[in-house]
Structure formats: structure tokens, C-alpha cells
Structure 1
Amino acid sequence: MAARAVGVTNMNSHSSRSHCIFSLPTSTSLICQQDGYLQRGELHFADLAGLERVDRTGAQGQTFEEAKRINLSLSALGNCIAALAQPGRNHIPFRDSKLTFLLKNSLGGNAKTTLL
């Protein structure tokens, strides 16, 4: 977390300039009758940088480029969620950003997702 970058914009004096994802692998041994098996999972905690209206923030230079990348990755996340909500859709664009690729197991399949 010490390497996390923050920057000042017109909208926020401590604006986060990155997403932060903490992944915690979990496993448990379950014994059923005579066969034992290992159950595995992964818990993701994601602190997402906020979507920014570049015209309102007054971002320039590197801060402007960071804002564009943040907005693109959040847009890709929204596209994945929209694709998952459409019944019968075969292709989910998880590879459109690093964020969606890292969170693909949490978004689709047998996963429980909560937003705070």
C-alpha cells in the first residue's frame, strides 16, 4: 500500500490514482465418509479508483493519462457485468483490461460478489 499513488485534482485533494486488489487464497479439508477432499477458493478485496470526469477535475499531463486508464478499466468492468447479465451471451470480455482479467473468477461462474 505504500507504493499506491495519490494525486490532487479539482474534485478531490487525495484522489486515488490506481486500483488496489488483495487476493487471499483459501482452502479447507473436508472429510466425507471415507473420501477426503480439498475445497479451494479465492477471496478478492478490491479498492477501485473512482471514475473521473476529466473536464471537471482539471487533470493534465500524467494525471490526465492516469485518469484515462482508470476510466477505461472501469468501463471494461461495466461491459463485463453487462455481458454477464445478458442471458445466452457466449463471450464475456474479461481480457479487455487487467482489472477484469484478475476479477474474472469473482464476476462469473460459481461466485458470490458484494459491493461496499
Structure 2
Amino acid sequence: MTSHKTAQTMKPATAAKKLEIYLEATPAEFREGVVSRDELNALQADPPAWLRDLRRDGPHPRSVVAARLGVSIAGLARGGVTEALTTDQIDAIKADNPQWLIRERETQAKVRAEEKRLRHRD
């Protein structure tokens, strides 16, 4: 008896998280279907135009916004940023350099320094 391998699939939200894109900004056919592991690998290896545009211009999920600003996701929330932002909006925040961003970057630097200290201790 030969075994038939079933394709591993995931919900669009999971695939979007793995691709680091904002699900609500994806095409309807992506949001409404399921994504196989092979399809995800193909999207990562050779992204279609819509995926390249999303990664370049946004809107970006909070994890990407936080990384681009150099703060934590909790730091974004403390700063009042609760929704997806475009690349232009992120650049505007960087240019304005508001007090909350300065404070959160300092906090993030302290957290990273402490994590590094603990890694070297252990």
C-alpha cells in the first residue's frame, strides 16, 4: 500500500504572519483560501508583484512597524500606534522623532543590553 501525502495547509492569517505582511491588505483570493506549505515557499522564493508592493509600501503589521522603528510592539501601543502603518507613515514618525519614540528606543536598548548580559552570564 502506498501512502498518499496530504499537502500541509495553513490559514491565510498564519501565512501572512510568516510572510510578515498585513492580512487585510492582501488580495481577496489570498484572504479567502488556504495556503499550502509549497505555495508559501513559492511566495517567499519568487514573490508576486502584490507581495513585493506590500513589503515595500505597506501597510505593515505591527511587528514590522515596531522593528522598523526600533521599538517593541508594547512600545508602539504605549506610543499610541495601534494599527498598521505604511512605509511613508513610518518614515514620517522617524523624521518627527517624537518623545515617546526616543523613550521606547532607550527602553529597547536597555532590554537588549540586559538580554546580552544574561546570555554571557549563562
> One fold, TM greater than 0.5?
no
Kindly indicate whether structure 1 or structure 2 has the higher relative contact order, using CA contacts under 8 Å at least 6 residues apart. Answer: 2
Q: TM-score per shorter chain, which class? A: under 0.3
More helix by share: 2
Q: What TM-score do the two structures reach when normalised by structure 2?
A: 0.26
TM-score, with structure 1 as normaliser: 0.27
